[in-house]
Amino acid sequence: MKTLETAIPDVKIITPLVHGDNRGFFLESYNKKDFANIVGLGIEFVQDNHSRSGKNVLRGLHYQMEHTQGKLIRVTAGEIFDVAVDLRKSSPTFGKWAGTRLNSQNHHILWVPPGFAHGFLVLSELADVLYKTTDYYDPDSDRCLIWNDPDVAIPWPIRGQPLLSPKDQEGVRLKDAEVYYL
- The residues annotated as belonging to the active site are 62, 131
Residue 16 to residue 26: CA distance in whole angstroms: 10
Question: At 29, is the secondary structure helix, strand, or coil?
Answer: coil
> What's phi and psi for 167, nearest 5 deg?
-60, -45
CA-CA-CA-CA dihedral for 54, 58, 138, 151, to nearest 10: 170
> What's phi and psi for 14, nearest 5 deg?
-105, 130
Cβ-based neighbour number of residue 33 at 10 Å: 6
Question: At 94, is the secondary structure helix, strand, or coil?
Answer: coil
> What's phi and psi for 101, nearest 5 deg?
-90, 125
Residue 182 to residue 166: CA distance in whole angstroms: 29
